[in-house]
Amino acid sequence: MMRQQLLVSAALAVGLTSNALAADVETLQRAKPDQQGIAQQCLENLQAFDQQLNDVGFGVLPPGGYGLGGPTGYGFPGTPREDIQTLRSAALVLAYEGEEEACQQVLSKMNEAFEEHQKLVGLEADDPEVRSAWRRAHLANAKPIAEMDRLMRADVVIGADLRNPEDEKLGEIEDVVFDPADRSIAYVLVSRGGFLGMGEELVAVPWQDLRATADHEIFVLDVLASAFEEAPAVDSANFAQTASQSWREQMNQFWDERLRG
């Protein structure tokens, strides 16, 4: 009970980052593979909420951003996307522990954050054609990672959407993998399929092949959705294999053929 109260309090105050709870969520998934004891109604509501965010292109700001005095959209604490990511992670932990009421309370706060975002964006956000134009222009202006001229926090990258130039969502960046040998980011792990951690696969995508929007809210990979579906999944139960040279060569060959072939 004390842990539940702490999770809810932290989520409502947006005092924890989304990746701070990721390990808890993954552990709970493994502990309850049959989904017994899960707050199923809250999970279904979370799925509907996620679909709503996807439909409106949540996180893509109109020209000029939110305006003076509003959230920046540049990855600083307090942007609507970061708030919702934090709350969603807390809701998932509560859902997997069967805490239906507490999960629904956090989901209510997620809806409040979404409504506040919509007010800041303006009524034009209700027009699907306008939304689509914003999003495509936003993605078209994304720059290669090597050309980004500002520092980028890891917790801004984790949880960000990965889309292609056609505005098809490929997945969500779940983690960043560093190579200690040359002190650089080797690749990111992107979720594919499934829902909120359940039934998802992880795909390794080379960091240097990504492009990023100016606000670091969305990353772009110049690949067809069908090609992304063909990418080999990472075995999360045997992650050590990714350290082998042969595995890295196979991954790089796959993306070289799809992106530069």
Rounded percentage of the chain residues whose pLDDT exceeds 70:
72
The mean per-residue pLDDT over the stretch 167-191 comes to 88
In the prediction, which pLDDT does 7 show?
A: 45
Domain boundaries, the chain: 2-139, 144-260
Phi-psi region of 59 (alpha: psi -120 to 50; beta: other; left: phi over 0): left
* 241: amino acid identity, one letter: Q
Residue positions counted in the chain: 261
The mean per-residue pLDDT over the stretch 84-93 comes to 86
In the prediction, which pLDDT does 113 show?
A: 85
- In this predicted model, what pLDDT tens digit does every residue of 50-69 receive, in sequence order? 888 877 766 666 555 555 34
Domain 144-260: CATH architecture, name and number where available: Roll (2.30)
Integer Cα distance of 102 and 81 in angstroms: 21
Q: Exposed, middle or buried: residue 7 (CB in 10 Å: 0-12, 13-18, 19+)?
A: buried
C-alpha angle 180-182-186 in degrees, rounded to nearest 5: 70
Confidence grade of residue 9 (pLDDT, cut at 50, 70, 90): low
Position of tokens 């060569």? 249
DSSP summary character for residue 125: G
- In this predicted model, what pLDDT tens digit does every residue of 240-261 receive, in sequence order? 778 788 888 899 899 999 886 5
Which one is predicted more confidently, 101 or 24?
101
- In this predicted model, what pLDDT tens digit does every residue of 102-122 receive, in sequence order? 999 999 999 988 887 777 766
In the prediction, which pLDDT does 60 show?
A: 60
In the prediction, which pLDDT does 41 show?
A: 92
In the prediction, which pLDDT does 151 show?
A: 79
Average pLDDT score, the chain: 76
